[in-house]
Amino acid sequence: MSNTNGVKYAAIQRHDLGVIICKECNTVIGTLPTNGYKKFYGHCNSAACLEKKKAVDNQK
């Protein structure tokens, strides 16, 4: 019997305080090693969010 929980928790324990959040669905896309807690906004790879991003770009 193998236990993979250790791997999962090791990833969470990295001290990346900056988080990248999708503007559309608020999914955390990734983390950044920043000095203090910071939020960055971007777009995730979901088709629905990319469509919205495209629509906004076309309005410019």
Binding of residue 20 to Zn ion (CB under 5 A): no
49 touching Zn ion, by CB under 5 A? yes
Taking CB under 5 A as the criterion, the residue among 6, 11, 18, 24 binding Zn ion is 24
Nearer to Zn ion, 17 or 41 (CB): 41
Cα four-point dihedral sign 44, 49, 50, 54: negative
Distance between CA atoms of residues 46 and 22, nearest Å? 10
Q: How far apart are the first and last CA of the chain?
A: 56
Assess 25 for contact with Zn ion (CB under 5 A).
yes
Tell me the two tokens of residue 60. Answer: 């410019």
Positions that interact with Zn ion (CB under 5 A) = 22, 24-25, 44, 46, 49
